[in-house]
Structure 1
Amino acid sequence: MMQSTRMTMTKLLLALACAGVLVGLAAADEEEVSMTVDEVVELIEPFGDGCTPKPLREHIVEMVLNKEDAKHESKCFRHCMLEQFELMPEGQLQFNEDKTVEMVNMMFPDREADGRRIVKTCNEQHKAEKDKCEAAHGIAMCMLREMRSSGFKIPDIKE
C-alpha cells in the first residue's frame, strides 16, 4: 500500500512540477518525504525523450527550480510535460481547468475553490500569449505566485 501511495504521489509531484507547483512528496501518514533537485530531475528526465526540442539537464533543472527567467528550451519542456499530463491539451494555450484543479486537489483537498480561481485567473492573464512555451511557463509561474499569496504551503526548492 505504501509503495502504491508513493507511486501515485510521485506522478502527482511530476505533474505539479511541470505546472510550476512543485511540492514535497507526502506519505499516507502525512509524514513528509523530501527530495533533492537532482532526484526530481532524474525522475523527470525520461519525460523529455519525446519532447522537441529535447531538453538538456540544465533546462530540466530550471523548470524544477521554477526559474522565472528560464531559457526558452526550459519553457518548452514545461509545455511538453503539461501536454503529457493533459494539463495543457495539445493545440491549447491554456491549462485545462478541471484537470489542473483535480491535480491541485490531490495535495490540497480543502482548497478546490481557491485552486479553480487561481487557474482561471492565470489562464486569463496569459490568454493573449501565442507561443505555447511562453504560455505554459507564464501560467505556471502565475499559479505558483498566486498559490503562495493565497496561503498554499509550497516550499521553495533550493539548488
Structure 2
Amino acid sequence: MNAAVFLLLCVGVVLGGEIDPQVIQSWLSTMDPFKDKCMNETHADPLLVEVIMKTGVISTNHEVMCFAKCIFMDVDVMDKDGNVNIDVVVKKGVVVKPGIAEKCINESESEPDLCKKAHDFAMCVVRELVKGD
C-alpha cells in the first residue's frame, strides 16, 4: 500500500487538475482499512468523506480536516505531534518529490491545529502537483 497516495487523491478536480484512476484506486485501498475508525474518531460527515473519496476535494469542515489528520497518522505520514515524515511522503509517494514535500512541510509547520495542519499540508502538495513543479 502507498501511504502518501492520500496526497495525490486531493488532486481530483481541484484547481483544474485531474487524477489518474490508478492513483484513486490505490488511495481507496490505502484509506479503506482506516476509514471507519477515523470517521468514528472524528465524527466527520460521511457525505463529506465520500466527496474526498470521489473528487479529492477536502472540505474545510473541522471534522473532515481531522479525518485527514487521522488517516495521515494511521499511514505514518504524520506523527502524534504533527510532524510530517518526509521519508514516508517521498519514498512511498507516487510523484511527490523532496522539494515539494519540504516546501509543504515548511508552509504548514507553524499551524498549531493538527487537523488544519494536515489539511494545509495536503492542499499545498495538491497545489504544487497541479502546477507541475
Shorter-chain TM-score above 0.5: yes
Deviations 1:116-158 (A, max 9, x none): 000100111112101111000100000011012126xxxxxxx
- The answer on 1:140 being equivalent to 2:122 is yes
2:98 aligned residue? 116
Q: CA RMSD in A?
A: 2.7
CA apart distance, 1:71: 1.5
**What is the distance in 1 between the residues matched to 2:104 and 2:72?**
15
Query: Relative to 1, partners in 2 of residues 1:43 and 1:54: Cα closer, same or farther, differing over 3 Å?
Result: farther
Calculate the TM-score normalised by the size of structure 2: 0.73
Residue 61 of structure 1 and its aligned partner are, at CA, apart by 2.1
- TM-score by structure 1 length? 0.62
Structure whose residues are more often helix by fraction: 2
Which of these residues, 34, 39, 45, is aligned with residue 56 of structure 1? 45
Aligned pairs for 1:1-159 within 5 A: 11-12=1-2, 15-17=4-6, 20-22=7-9, 23-25=20-22, 40=28, 44=31, 46-51=33-38, 52-64=41-53, 65-67=55-57, 69-92=59-82, 94-104=83-93, 107-108=94-95, 115-150=97-132
Q: RCO greater where, 1 or 2, for CA within 8 Å and sep 6 or more? A: 2
Moved over 4 A (4+): none
For structure 1, list consecutive stretches of 5 or more residues without a partner in the other structure: 1-10, 27-33, 109-113, 152-159
- 2:80 alignment partner AA: E
Contact 1:66 1:141 in 2 (8 A): no
Q: Percent identity?
A: 23
